Structure formats: C-alpha cells, structure tokens
Amino acid sequence: MKWLASLPLALAIAGCGVPPNQVVPMRDGTLRATTYVEATDHCAEKGTTARMLGKAPAEKGVLFRCE
C-alpha cells in the first residue's frame, strides 16, 4: 500500500520532464514541434526566426531550425 502513495509523486516528477512547448531536439541538430506556431514561438523566445524544414517523421509535427 505504501508504494501506491508514492505513485502520484512519481507521475508528477515524470510530467516535469516534458518541455512545456513540446519542442524536441533531434539527433541531426534540427528541432521538432507539434505545430508551426510552437516552432515560431520557440525561436522567438531565443530572439531568432524559425526556418521550417518540412514534416517530421511519421507526420508527428514539423522539423525546423532557429536561425
């Protein structure tokens, strides 16, 4: 029963590991976002502009770079 009490804490900690805007770095140095808006906002926070590179693999968003 004690492990059941620690389950919500473990889920809360795991949820903190996900970026709030869902921008994920890829192996080749590009970034993946769910939408074009998230990509643009992510780059705007860094003071750069987003260069869209196309759809992400399996059509799970867009690939982009901040320039």
Contacts of 29 (CB under 8 A, 6+ apart): 65
Q: What percent of the chain has pLDDT over 90?
A: 46
**Domain residues of the chain, as ranges?**
21-67
Listing DSSP states for the chain in one string gives -HHHHHHHHHHHHHHHTS-TT--EE-TTS-EEESSHHHHHHHHHHTT--EEEEEEPGGG-SEEEEE-
CA dist., res. 66 & res. 51, Å (int): 6
User: Is the model more confident about 49 or about 17?
Assistant: 49
pLDDT band at 63 (very low <50, low <70, confident <90, very high): very high
The pLDDT of residue 11 is above 80: no
